[in-house]
Structure 1
Amino acid sequence: MQTYSFELFPNRGLIHIFLFSEVKNSLELRKRLLSHDAELSYAFINARVILDIFQLLIATNCALHNEKCSILKTHNINSEIVYNLSPNTNINEALRRFGISDDSTNIVVVKVGGEANEIKSHLTSLIQGTETSLENLFKFGDLGIIKKYYKVDNKIHDVKEILNIIVGSMAVKSVS
């Protein structure tokens, strides 16, 4: 778990990011998310579409900004974080591509606000998987899928350059 503070949004509290591997109950979690289960007040993200934690921080910052300005495109801050990872404005596609799927085995969880130990305890009771250090996040990303979703040329192999393209794609969406 890593915790961040966003100076522009001090009233929202800290941002907590977790990585879980070997998750066995993604199907159940996804069904509960689709039924708007209030107990799952988190952004659940498929780790295979994340290259770097910076993506998550950008998406979360944008979601917090949209919330503060009362311009959320989705129904809550958690789905807005997932939506903001996408390079396009199709909400259903964004949630399908970047949210967890029935067979996701590695997931990232973002929580806005709350106390870290309580959140960790709650998540470990919800998720049948192993909490893993976020330093290992890059190991779970699928570069082929990431390049496809963000339309990165296959000739580009430098991770920093790919990340710049990803962040640029996310930023361009917010002004379109």
Structure 2
Amino acid sequence: MADFAECWELGDLPGHTLTVMLFKDVANSSELRDAVQGGSLSPESALANAALVPDALVLRAAAHKACVAASRGALRTRSLHAELVFGLSGSKHIGETLTRYGISPECRHVLAARFDAAPGEAAALAELVAGTPAPLSELPSLADAPLLTKYLKITKEELAIGSMAAAQLVRIAARDC
């Protein structure tokens, strides 16, 4: 699993780690979505549409916001993992964001993330996803630029001076302002 899993230490929130795995060509997206919606996904994890995460930094920013919200007792969703998916968007509409950025039946590429995962939990999560493991460095090549532009309302002028990931990061950071 070392070739496709990464574990990040969130420096300003001691004790939290985020294990992240990228899967391409996932065949059981519908089944996974049903498990997430039914609360039966074990281990509990965040499953996001990788096509809407153009850079690992975007995921890290959303994870940071989720951890800060949890530490303040201010989660807007039911769990820390749902908060991570919610954090990927600049929108304040929880249901819409979870539908768009979370796993859907049509989702071909999936980011699976688990906070504070034990080694066995990471392996169990990897076994749940019927897809090809890939390194996170492939994330930018999987981005769906037209869909991100539509969802985030990114202008041509904005992209002329920055990247798709930068535009998404600005929206993540500014949502609560």
Report if aligned partners of 1:43, 1:79 keep a CA contact under 8 Å in 2: yes
Number of equivalent positions: 173
Report if aligned partners of 1:147, 1:154 keep a CA contact under 8 Å in 2: no
Give % identity: 23
| Post-superposition CA distance 1:97-154 (Å, at most 9, x none) | 1001012110001111023x42332123211111111110111110111111111113
Aligned residue number for residue 114 of structure 1 = 117
Aligned residue number for residue 58 of structure 1 = 61
CA RMSD of aligned residues (A): 1.6
Please say if 1:67 is aligned against 2:70: yes
Aligned residue number for residue 9 of structure 2 = 5
Question: Counterpart amino acid of 2:23?
Answer: F
SS in 1 for 2:91: coil
Aligned residue number for residue 171 of structure 1 = 173
Instruction: Work out the CA distance in 2 between the residues paired with 1:56 and 1:143.
Output: 16
Aligned residue number for residue 132 of structure 1 = 134
- Within 5 Å, give how 1:10-29 maps onto structure 2: 10-12=14-16, 14-29=17-32
- 1:164 Cα deviation after fit: 2.2
- 1:82 Cα deviation after fit: 0.5
SS in 2 for 1:11: coil
What is the TM-score normalised by the length of structure 2? 0.91
Gaps of 5+ in 2: none
What is the TM-score normalised by the length of structure 1? 0.92
Report if aligned partners of 1:52, 1:163 keep a CA contact under 8 Å in 2: yes
Gaps of 5+ in 1: none
Instruction: Work out the CA distance in 1 between the residues paired with 2:155 and 2:163.
Output: 11
Please say if 1:44 is aligned against 2:53: no
Question: Counterpart amino acid of 1:144?
Answer: P
- 1:155 Cα deviation after fit: 4.9
Instruction: Work out the CA distance in 1 between the residues paired with 2:157 and 2:170.
Output: 18
Report if aligned partners of 1:32, 1:40 keep a CA contact under 8 Å in 2: no
Aligned residue number for residue 162 of structure 1 = 164
Closer/same/farther in 2, CA of residues 118 and 95 from structure 1, 3 Å limit: same
